[in-house]
Structure 1
Amino acid sequence: MTTVLTRSERDLRGYALVFLAGLVWSTVGLGIRLIDEAQVWQILFYRSVSMTLLLYGVIRLRTGQDPLRLAWRMGWPGVIGGLSLVAAYTGAIFAIQTTSVANAMMLFACSPLLAAVLGRVILGEYVRPQTWVAILVAGCGIAVMVWDKFAGAALLGNLAAIGSAVGFATFTITLRWGKATEMMPAVFLSGVFGMVLMAIICLWLGLSLGITPGDMGISLGMGVFQVGLGLILYTIGSKTVPAAELTLLSLAEVVLGPVWVWLVLGETATPNTLIGGTILLTAIAGNALSGARRRPPPPML
């Protein structure tokens, strides 16, 4: 017998699933920190392999159609969106490897605000005055976060984190440009692109695809349990959760990410990161509460 859920039960389940998605995504920093030797290109290759295989099966079961056909049916928006995710993933892994997890995760969080700017520039979408204020406040928070990190690897890590946020924002814009109702096919396509591009880069740089069993296991696990499972939970849960609440729930990823590396590895954040991150998250939360978000934000990792 089929169980029919009431509206409130569906909403509660949606909230729980979206929060669980953020919880799963928040472990990405810990996963990268546990990698011993593999470089960003090798990690992303194996993560793309496992994520693509998982999403292929899930999309096939949900739709009964070939995932590649669904992805290519999206046209150029799907292709650009898939490539932008590859760039976002690459920047995210590099950032976590070269700066603190707290710093990287906080900078990833500015993606929704960057999407508003890109939406205005590329699609001509209206941006409310409250959102411009939030963008200004978020910029101040970012400035505080990177104030003491203007040299060496930390600077490159911060730039990579901001670049990753731009990639996620671009993905959001391509979904709106293509009027996509499902993000899974585009994410699946990003996995295909990721496998091909990372294999080419590894060959070009002389890097072997043969990495240690431990690093391979962590990389494959991230593709299945972090990106893949998180996306599935988010896709199902987001259908019954209002957009503003989705933005707030997605901040669980940013807040919890530094907690895991602190609990397991003892990594702490600098005062500048904590102060600037608080300003940034306040701007994003205020923007969400003011009702600026009209569509679900994309997964960050």
Structure 2
Amino acid sequence: MSYLRGAILIILAGVLWSTQGLIIRLIPDTGSWAILFWRSAGMLPVLAAWIAMAAGRDVITEMRAVGWAGVLGGLGLVMAFSGAIYAFQATSVANAVLLFAASPFFAAILGRLLLGEWVSPLTWFAIVLAAVGILVMVGGGLAGGAMDGNIAALVSALGFAIFTVTLRWGKLANMLPAVALGGVFSMIAGAIALAILGKSVLIPLPEIAISALMGAVTLTGGMLLYTVGSRVVPAAQATLLSLVEVLLAPVWVWLLLGETVSQGTLIGGAVLLAAVLLNAYGGRATKAQGASPLGLRPHPQDI
């Protein structure tokens, strides 16, 4: 595969991921735990089929092969997935996706503390710069009553950072079985949370369909496109290309739902994005690169 095709696949992954905030806003009456359950249910069959096709053996064997690193990474994805969904419901989409971009810096700090990975002076400067941007954005959210959504977005970013660090700790070459574990754990967490809250996992069929399709197409589809494209695109450049998610997500909700962006989000987001760009460029020369994509996100989120 050529570099150009790989870059196009990564951009398309970012475009798919960027629609998740809009889709979640289209089902506002569905709680975040129910969305988490059904989105994960939609994600797992597609992911399982891809893993089986690529590995030549069943997905259960592949999931068992990732060991404790994959288990911890999967639990990190529960944080990433659930935090992202709640953030999209509780704060502006612009706030959420920009705060998801803090994940590389959380990963760099955790990698240093837990794995002893070297962090370059440039990355430390970018981390400080990102912290300034986050404080500006979260401060604006406090004034606007969206603090819980901002915190959820940061929890999502931290969860994806945990996922990233556990992959490096376990030296896992293939992240997809760990992602599948994250989907299984997310379904379990969603079901338990709904039971504790006294709510049913059964929601209206159209909302089940929307949530499941979001998992199968936008979340998993984007992840597979990114995985294939990143084989021929250097990590730092792939990170930059995937930022199309951060740029497009607020555009969709502005065009279709009329959601505007606050001044604090614009200022803090610009500072945070500058830090991400600085870290991505500087990452080419570092021994341990904390940068990673989702926002699935995660992100992803989110993913």
Q: 2:79 aligns with which of 87, 101, 105?
A: 87
* Alignment correspondent of 2:21: 29
Q: Deviations over 1:278-300 (max 9, x none)?
A: 01001110111122474772432
Structure 1 segments of 4 or more deviating over 6 A? none
What is aligned with 1:220? 212
What letter corresponds to residue 28 of structure 2 in structure 1?
Answer: D
Q: Tell me if structure 2 keeps the 8 A contact 1:68–1:189.
A: no
- Corresponding residue for residue 53 of structure 2: 61
Q: Structure 1 residues 62-71 or 164-173, which shifts more?
A: 62-71
2:42 equivalent among 50, 66, 77: 50
Answer yes or no: is 1:195 the counterpart of 2:187: yes
- Supply the AA of the counterpart residue of 1:77: A
| Deviation (angstroms), 1:247 | 1.3
2:265 to 240, 259, 273: 273
1:205 counterpart residue number? 197
Instruction: Decide which moves more: 194-203 or 17-26.
Output: 194-203
Asked if 1 retains the 8 angstrom alpha-carbon contact of 2:102 and 2:130, the reply is yes
Alpha-carbon distance in structure 1 between the residues aligned to 2:279 and 2:138: 22
Stretches of structure 2 lacking an aligned partner (at least 5 in a row): 298-302
Aligned amino acid, residue 61 of structure 2:
R
Counterpart for residue 140 of structure 1:
132
Q: Does 1:124 align with 2:112?
A: no
TM-score (norm 1): 0.94
| 8 A contact 1:142–1:280 mirrored in 2 | yes
The CA deviation at 1:210 is 1.7
Give yes or no for contact 2:75–2:182 (8 Å, CA) kept in 1: yes
Distance 2:126 2:290 in 1: 17
Identical positions, percent: 52
Aligned-residue CA RMSD in angstroms?
A: 1.4
Greater shift, 150-159 or 86-95, is seen at: 150-159
Specify the code of the residue in structure 2 equivalent to 1:73: A
Amino acid at match of 1:18: I
The answer (yes or no) to whether the contact 1:37–1:215 under 8 Å persists in 2 is no
| TM-score (norm: length of structure 2) | 0.93
Aligned-residue offset at 1:26: 0.7
User: What is the aligned partner in structure 2 of residue 11 from structure 1?
Assistant: 3
Distance apart, 1:148 and its partner CA = 2.4
Give the Å deviation of 1:149: 2.2
Give the corresponding residue for 1:109: 101
Number of aligned residue pairs: give it. Answer: 293
Give the one of 287, 292, 297 matched to 2:292: 297
Is contact 2:42-2:215 (8 Å) kept? yes
1:233-279 deviations in Å (ceiling 9; x for gaps): 01111000011101111211111111111111110110110111001
Residue number in structure 1 paired with 2:300: none
SS of the residue corresponding to residue 268 of structure 1 reads coil
Matches within 5 A, 1:152-163: 153-163=145-155
How far residue 206 of structure 1 moved from its aligned partner, in angstroms, is 1.1
CA distance in 1 between counterparts of 2:225 and 2:293 reads: 12
In 2, the alpha carbon distance for the partners of 1:178 and 1:208 equals 37
CA distance in 2, matches of 1:252, 1:284: 13
Letter in 2 for 1:297: S
After TM superposition, list the pairs within 5 Å mapping 1:216-295 onto structure 2.
216-290=208-282, 291=284, 292=286, 294=289
Distance in 1 separating the partners of 2:171 and 2:293:
14
Distance 2:140 2:104 in 1: 25
1:72–1:79 CA contact under 8 A, matched in 2: no
Q: SS state of the match for residue 90, structure 1?
A: helix
SS of aligned partner of 1:168: helix
Shift of 1:27: 0.7
